[in-house]
Amino acid sequence: MTVQELPGAATYRPTPPPAWKPITDPAPLLPDPEPYRVLGTDAIADVDPELLLRLHAELVRGRRYNTQATALTKQGRLAVYPSSTGQEACEIAAALVLEERDWLFPSYRDTLAAVARGLDPVEALTLLRGDRHTGYDPREHRIAPLCTPLATQLPHAVGLAHAARLKGDDVVALAMVGDGGTSEGDFHEALNFAAVWKAPVVFLVQNNGFAISVPLAKQTAAPSLAHKAVGYGMPGRLVDGNDAPAVHQVLSEAVARARRGGGPTLIEAVTYRMEAHTNADDATRYRVDSEIEAWRAHDPVQLLERELTGRGLLDDEGIAQAKEAAERMAAALRDRMNADPELVPMDLFTHVYAEQTSQLQEQAAALRAELDAEQDHDHSAEEGR
């Protein structure tokens, strides 16, 4: 029996639901179909040359930082390093768009953003060296600890931005996450909270193609990660993540919007991870050289350098100067990282609680005794020699 055959079906009309209607105009929230670009377009004319040169110098420095840190893993000075080579434009722009009072919430890959924001290059590496988890005071630099559990720092950014707004401070939080991290529940919860609370947060997704070995296509069925913004009721923006002035511009607009009370933005920067996931990963198992070569032609440092030399803003001497400055930074980093960090075993117990529990006091005393015994043993061994 079809519906038409039902008695009285021809005249049946469901009563419309009362009052509620969906918001049917998400159009302004949808990202442009193509990633936004500045380099090689007319938009470049509007960018302050000073900013372009600053971006260039920082990119060169950032690239050198990545190669130096990777070299330090080979010398055993770092336990591990997730290189951001190829992603420097995102890292640098993230650091440069923020005011001093703003906060950065980096993931484990975003050492470079933290350093570009002014963090001591050695303090930024303690997590990866293995002597301390976070080698700096987050409040002093307004940089949250580099976060390893994926996407879990995103709700923190929302909470902090929300708290700042409640206090009447015009502080913005910029939170960084990878493409794989967008599949985590915390990503969803953070975006939803931020949109509902109109929190001054900017979410920057660095879509570098892979989550360790898993390509984006196995991570999501969404047309783009920026599209995800629409469902939360916030704008999504798509930007060429290797185009430094473009990333800077898109991030700046989002930060300004957040600062004036416009709420959060989700930005997807399309970029590529040129190195393996970390030095411990074998990337040949999941990607081919031709793909890497194609991206090498779209290298963020080269792109900017070509544009600037073409426009007469940068010459060989300028490039050489930027390289020298980067070498000086690398040499200093090398020197300082070659010194063994000072380890204080008793620190194990110092910062678990504000005050040590009696249980921890007992354990600390036991370790103290072990250390003393070790020392006595060493002394007597020396004397016996």
Partner 1 sequence: MTTAATKAGTRTAKAKPATMAQALGRALRDAMAEDPAVHVLGEDVGTLGGVFRITDGLAKEFGDDRCTDTPLAEAGILGAAVGMAMYGLRPVVEMQFDAFAYPAFEQLMSHVAKMRNRTGGAMPLPITVRVPYGGGIGGVEHHSDSSEAYYMATPGLHVVTPATVDDAYGLLRASIASDDPVVFLEPKRLYWSKADWSPETPAAVGPIGEAVVRRTGRSATLITYGPSLPVCMEAAEAAVAEGWDLEVVDLRSLVPFDDETVAASVRRTGRAVVVHESPGFGGPGGEIAARITERCFHHLEAPVLRVAGFDIPYPPPMLERHHLPGVDRVLDAVARLQWEADS
Ligand X SMILES: Cc1ncc(C[n+]2csc(CCOP(=O)(O)OP(=O)(O)O)c2C)c(N)n1
């993230």: which residue's tokens? 94
Mutual orientation of helices 300-310 and 244-259 as an angle, nearest 10°? 100
* Binder among 357, 368, 377, 379 for partner 1 (CB under 8 A): 357
**Is the C-alpha dihedral spanning 83, 88, 93, 99 positive or negative?**
positive
Nearer CB in complex with ligand X: 241/245:
241
Q: Is 160 an interacting residue with respect to partner 1 (CB under 8 A)?
A: yes
Smallest distance from ligand X to CB 32, Å: 22
């009285």: which residue's tokens? 8
CA atoms of 160 and 175, how far apart (whole Å): 11
Whether 65 sits among the annotated catalytic residues: the reply is no
Nearer CB in complex with ligand X: 64/277:
277
Residue 31 in tokens? 């990202």
Smallest distance from partner 1 to CB 345, Å: 14
104 in Cβ contact with 94 (< 8 Å): yes
Q: Of the listed 37, 227, 286, 334, which one is catalytic?
A: 286
Nearer CB in complex with ligand X: 57/211:
211
54 in Cβ contact with 316 (< 8 Å): no
CA atoms of 153 and 134, how far apart (whole Å): 14
Q: Is 138 an interacting residue with respect to partner 1 (CB under 8 A)?
A: yes
CA nearest 271: which of 248, 240, 302? 240
Q: Which residues bind ligand X (CB under 6 A)?
A: 109, 148-150, 178-181, 208, 210-212, 273, 277
Answer with the entry of ligand X, partner 1, none that 178 interacts with (C-beta below 5 to 8 A by kind).
Answer: ligand X
Helix (H) or strand (E) run with residue 192 in it:
helix 185-197
Q: Is 223 an interacting residue with respect to partner 1 (CB under 8 A)?
A: no
Burial (0-12, 13-18, 19+ Cβ within 10 Å), 2: exposed
Positions in 106-125 near partner 1 (CB under 8 A):
none
Answer with the entry of ligand X, partner 1, none that 109 interacts with (C-beta below 5 to 8 A by kind).
Answer: ligand X
CA nearest 216: which of 146, 155, 278, 272? 272
Answer with the entry of ligand X, partner 1, none that 137 interacts with (C-beta below 5 to 8 A by kind).
Answer: partner 1
Residue 231 in tokens? 């469902």
Binding mask 174-203 for partner 1 (x = CB under 8 A): -----------xx--xx-xx--x-------
Smallest distance from ligand X to CB 109, Å: 4
Smallest distance from ligand X to CB 211, Å: 3
CA atoms of 188 and 220, how far apart (whole Å): 13
Nearer CB in complex with partner 1: 189/327:
189
CA atoms of 340 and 343, how far apart (whole Å): 9
Q: What does the buried/exposed string (b/e) look like for 72-87 if buried means 16 or more CB atoms within 10 Å of the residue's CB?
A: bbeeebbeebbbbbbb
Smallest distance from partner 1 to CB 298, Å: 35
Smallest distance from ligand X to CB 186, Å: 8
Active site residues: 273, 277, 286
Residues that bind partner 1 (CB under 8 A): 132-140, 144-145, 149, 152, 154-164, 166-167, 173, 185-186, 189-190, 192-193, 196, 347, 350-355, 357-359
